[in-house]
């Protein structure tokens, strides 16, 4: 399980966000819409792999219909944390 605190610690540890930008992020629209994300799963693929995969279940376009959940897959570089690819099951893909 990955929760808000895990994400914050990761972003701060990897210098993606500073303490000041983290405070700004908390009051921004994406943070307020975090309720649209129902669950996150992390898979390191293999210990030797340079990539990891995160899967999220979320509502598209801030939908509140619980039956309208889509899957989002993001492949991240383990070293830089940069996204390398992704896919979602929404209409746009």
Count of the separate structural domains present in the chain = 1
Is 89 or 34 the better-scoring residue by pLDDT?
89
pLDDT surpasses 80 at 83: yes
Is this prediction's pTM over 0.95? no
Query: Is there a domain that residue 57 lies in?
Result: yes
Segments forming the whole domain that contains residue 84: 4-88
Is 27 or 59 the better-scoring residue by pLDDT?
59
pLDDT surpasses 70 at 62: no
Mean pLDDT, range 48-60, rounded to an integer = 86
Q: Report strand pairing: 70-77 vs 51-58.
A: antiparallel
Query: Is there a domain that residue 76 lies in?
Result: yes
DSSP string computed for 18-42: -HHHHHHHHTSHHHHGGGGEEEEEE
Q: What per-residue confidence (pLDDT) applies to 29?
A: 57
Q: Are 55 and 40 in contact (CB under 8 A)?
A: yes
pLDDT surpasses 60 at 84: yes
Closest CA to 43 of 51, 56, 53: 53
pLDDT surpasses 80 at 55: yes
Query: Is there a domain that residue 93 lies in?
Result: no
First to last CA, the chain: 25
Query: Is there a domain that residue 68 lies in?
Result: yes
Mean pLDDT, range 1-8, rounded to an integer = 66
């Amino acid at each position: 399980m990955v929760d808000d605190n895990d994400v914050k610690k990761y972003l701060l540890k990897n210098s993606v966000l500073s303490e000041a930008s983290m405070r700004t992020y908390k009051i921004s629209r994406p943070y307020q819409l975090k309720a649209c994300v129902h669950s996150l799963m992390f898979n390191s693929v293999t210990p030797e792999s340079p990539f990891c995969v995160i899967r999220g279940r979320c509502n598209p376009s801030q939908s509140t219909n619980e039956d309208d959940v889509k899957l989002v897959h993001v492949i991240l570089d383990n070293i830089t944390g940069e996204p390398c690819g992704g896919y979602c099951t929404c209409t746009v893909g």
